[in-house]
Amino acid sequence: MGNWKKLMVAGAVVGSLVLGSGPALAGPTSPRLDRREYRQQSRIYRGIASGCLTPWEFRLLEREQARIHFTEARMKADGRFTRWERARLHRRLNRSSRHIYRATHNRWRR
């Protein structure tokens, strides 16, 4: 069998595994949390574009958003997403929102 045919067969096998197991590996969803994360991310980008955020503040806020995202992924990794975990993430997002507001409304400009 030629290399091209081997590659096609391997691609078909991997593709069928990925597409077949997609819904099973998706895990619990949280559209409300995802919307909040997206809105906060856009607030950060608007702040850096308008000059309200310094590069240092931008890095701090981005790092905080990344930590929240990875915490959410860890919480969902076991396949369950309890209301206590959801409440904990909302508290972290509330704190992050305050940090974004304070950073964009302080006297430091880029």
Domain that holds residue 47: 29-104
Whole-angstrom CA distances from 14 to 20, 65, 78 are 10, 33, 24
> Which residue in 15, 10, 12 sits closest to 2, CA to CA?
10
Q: In this model, does residue 68 exceed pLDDT 60?
A: yes
pLDDT tens, position by position, 12-28: 544 554 444 444 456 78
| Domains in the chain, number | 1
pTM flag (> 0.75) = no
Residue 7 lies in a domain: no
What is the mean pLDDT of the segment spanning 53-67? 96
Residue 84 lies in a domain: yes
pLDDT at 17: 46
Residue 24 lies in a domain: no
Amino acid sitting at position 80: R
pLDDT at 1: 56
